[in-house]
Amino acid sequence: MEVGGDDILETKPTSEEVRFGHYYDYEELTRVLKNLVSNYPAASRLRSIGKTPEGRDLWLVEITNFREGAAESKPAIWMDGNTHAGEVMGSMICLRTIHYLLKNFGSEPYVTKLLNDVVFYVVPRVDPDGAEFFLKTHYYALPGDNETGGGRWYPLSKEEWTRTQSGLYMEDVNGDGSIASMRIEDPNGDWRVSSKDPRIMVRRGPSEVNGPFYRIYPEGFLLNHEGGREIRMAAARWSMNLNRNYPDDWSKQEIDRGSGPYPLSEPETRAIVDFIVDHPNICLAITYHTHGGVALGYSEEAKLPKEDQRLFGILESIFVKETSYVADARSPKPKGNFANYLTLHRGIPCLIIEVWDMAGLAGIGNFVERGGFGFSYASMTEDQALKVLEWSDRELKGKGFVPWTEFDHPQLGRVEIGGWKARFLWRNPPEEFIEREADRNALFPIRCAWLLPRVRIVNWETKKRGENIYEIKATVANLGALPTYVSKHAVNIGGVKPVEVRLELSEGAKLLGSQDISRIQLDGYLIRDIAEPKSERVVCGDKHRETLVWHVEAKGAHKVTIRVNSQRAGKDEVTFSIPH
């Protein structure tokens, strides 16, 4: 299925403004994408690259000026969001980038020139089924839990889970529309009420003996519970994790982390990999997750050439400058994740962007200062919790917290239910902050797109060297910042072919003493930053261009065509006549 195309060339003004005041469900997202493509047909197409298990389309938007060549003939940026069911902010950032590019195409020279030369492939929602489940129920993943599969029972069926498992599972027990926490008074409990604000629970100190003390659990019911004071969490119901299903270091032993029965077992991941393999023009990739406010580069540096490590550093520095967030290449990546697969197996450098940093906004420090992902609402100090609560009261008028309220639990008796509303406080921005967060992150891919390699024939000439003998010279240059191969690792693994320069002669002309195809690689202007340190830059030379020479025997007038074809740096051609 495809919407838009070359048959309609004029850009129309938008008939419906894209709004960022709430999170779009599948029908709304589909309608907005179709409207955008309909309103800007000269620069966009919408296609379904696959179907989810529940039959939803996996939408991909192509954005480029189709009048300046097919998308496949240009270098490309890949973007995606919402790989995890509960990380819906990624979809909104992708949508904001799409909207910005299309709205400014034809009117803003910066954007128009970019879309003449490059293409964006954008999948706003990698997990449409999961996002729908997240947006239309009250479920979410707790820190350390893995109920992110969006209602897809895995690894057990519902019947198996009900029959064989036991423990606490999350539910909206009191029917107030959210899943918060339950506190149960217990003299052996390890939590107590803060003396500074009764809404906050703090860890009990080793010498504290004067209660009351509490145990704290997620709000929920007990499955196959046979009594007793000890309560453990039941096995997760919906553990399929699409970001563990990619081939890189995939591990069946991580089945409890949702890796799937085999790599690419899920239709969403399979569709994405098939598309990427079929589009070798993809140079860089950006995948949006939540939360943390950080760009995560490739952490297994020993597996990458030094040039690629420096390239990641450049991309991360652009991200920090653009967003004022931080970068941290040290954080380990889980097995079977998308970014590692692209970087290591396809030679496509991929950044994981963890957007939304509510903790940072509350004054607790950024991702690096907090020590990474170990920070969560359950591990906050009392002072940190007070800062978050103060921020919630000020910015959300208290909507980020459920007041503790007594409730007669049908299995546990008297409990109190309350605590943080994690779904749209920690995991995703509250609706009031969607547009601000989208604007903060949406231009980063555009900055990266300006780095992409672009091959051009910048000069050509012919000279007569004898009776019916002509010398043809052509200079091919890379006008982009990155080399035509982008990643040195891609060259090492055979993941990218050299640039092909082909000479074509009309019938009757004859090439003398050389081949009609030359294969080259060209540096970009950032090579001085990507290559070895300063002491070796002097001997680098200017390798972003190369002049090729052919000798041709031709009687009478003939057409000559020079074609340049690069997997990752686009195409170019010139046609002229000899004698010239």
pLDDT in tens, 38-63: 999 999 999 999 999 999 999 999 99
pLDDT of residue 537: 45
Q: Please, are residues 310 and 341 in contact by the beta-carbon 8 Å criterion?
A: no
Residues of the chain with pLDDT under 70: 1-16, 141-148, 228-229, 253-257, 373-377, 528-541, 580
User: 528 is written with which tokens?
Assistant: 């001085």
pLDDT of residue 11: 41
d(CA 239, CA 237): 6
Three-class HEC string of 63-117? ECCHHHCCHHHCCEEEEEECCCCCCCHHHHHHHHHHHHHHHHCCCCHHHHHHHHH
d(CA 510, CA 563): 17
- Residues near 244 by Cβ (< 8 Å), separated by ≥ 6? 250, 254, 257, 258, 259, 260, 334, 335, 336, 337
C-alpha distances in Å from residue 216, one per residue of 171, 378, 398, 497: 15, 10, 21, 57
pLDDT of residue 385: 92
> Given its phi and psi angles, is residue 325 left (phi above 0), alpha (psi -120 to 50 degrees) or beta?
beta
pLDDT of residue 139: 86
pLDDT of residue 539: 44
Q: Please, are residues 460 and 576 in contact by the beta-carbon 8 Å criterion?
A: yes
pLDDT in tens, 123-147: 999 999 999 999 999 887 654 455 6
